[in-house]
Amino acid sequence: MAATRRVLIIGSGGQLGRAVGQAFKARQWLTFGADAHAAAKAPVTHILAMDSGSAPEDQGRQLVSELQRKLGSERLDAIVNVAGGFAMGSASDPAVVANTKAMVESSVYTSVIAAHAASLALRPGGLLILPGATAAFGPTAWSLPYGAAKAAVHHLVRSLADMETSGLPAGVKTIGLAPQTLDTPQNREALPAADRGSWASLEEVAEQLETWCADPSAVESGKVYVIRKANSLPATFEAKNPMMFFASNFENS
Amino acid sequence: MAATRRVLIIGSGGQLGRAVGQAFKARQWLTFGADAHAAAKAPVTHILAMDSGSAPEDQGRQLVSELQRKLGSERLDAIVNVAGGFAMGSASDPAVVANTKAMVESSVYTSVIAAHAASLALRPGGLLILPGATAAFGPTAWSLPYGAAKAAVHHLVRSLADMETSGLPAGVKTIGLAPQTLDTPQNREALPAADRGSWASLEEVAEQLETWCADPSAVESGKVYVIRKANSLPATFEAKNPMMFFASNFENS
pLDDT, tens only, B142-198: 999 999 999 999 999 999 999 999 999 999 999 999 988 899 998 999 999 999 999
Contact yes or no for A91 and B119 at CB 8 A: yes
pLDDT of A39 reads 63
Packing angle of the helix pair B56-71, B110-121 (nearest 10 deg): 30
Residue A252 pLDDT greater than 70, yes or no: no
Better pLDDT: B204 or B37: B204
| Separation CA A207–CA B222 (nearest Å) | 39
pLDDT of A248 reads 42
Contact yes or no for B97 and A160 at CB 8 A: no
pLDDT of A2 reads 62
| Separation CA B22–CA B40 (nearest Å) | 14
pLDDT of A245 reads 57
Q: What is the mean pLDDT of residues A66-73?
A: 96
Residues 49-78 of B with CB under 8 A from A: 55-57, 59-61
The fraction of chain B above a pLDDT of 90, given in percent, is 85
Residue B246 pLDDT greater than 60, yes or no: no
Contact yes or no for A116 and B97 at CB 8 A: yes
pLDDT of B183 reads 94
pLDDT of B2 reads 62
Residues of B in contact with A164 (CB under 8 A): 141
Computed over every residue of chain B, the mean pLDDT equals: 92
Contact yes or no for A166 and B253 at CB 8 A: no
Residues of A in contact with B60 (CB under 8 A): 97
ipTM of model: 0.94
| Closest in A92, A101, A116 to B55, CB measured | A101
pLDDT, tens only, A195-241: 999 999 999 999 999 999 999 999 999 999 999 999 999 999 999 99
Assigned CATH for B6-243: 3.40.50.720
The fraction of chain A above a pLDDT of 70, given in percent, is 94
B196 secondary structure, DSSP code: G
pLDDT of A25 reads 96
Residue B9 pLDDT greater than 60, yes or no: yes
Packing angle of the helix pair A56-71, B96-103 (nearest 10 deg): 160
Residue A53 pLDDT greater than 90, yes or no: no
pTM: 0.95
Contact yes or no for A97 and B116 at CB 8 A: yes
pLDDT of A50 reads 85
Nearest alpha-carbon partner for B158 in B81, B83, B238, B240: B240
Q: How far is CA B89 from CA A58, A222, B208, in A?
A: 17, 18, 32
A48 secondary structure, DSSP code: E
> Strand A46-48 to strand A173-178: parallel, antiparallel, or no bridges (unpaired)?
unpaired
Residues 96-125 of B with CB under 8 A from A: 96-98, 100-101, 104, 108-109, 112-113, 115-116, 118-120
pLDDT band at A253 (very low <50, low <70, confident <90, very high): very low
| Closest in A59, A144, A165 to B159, CB measured | A144
pLDDT of A247 reads 42
pLDDT, tens only, A120-136: 999 999 999 999 999 99
| Closest in B109, B113, B148 to A155, CB measured | B148
Residues of B in contact with A152 (CB under 8 A): 104, 108, 148-149, 151-152, 155
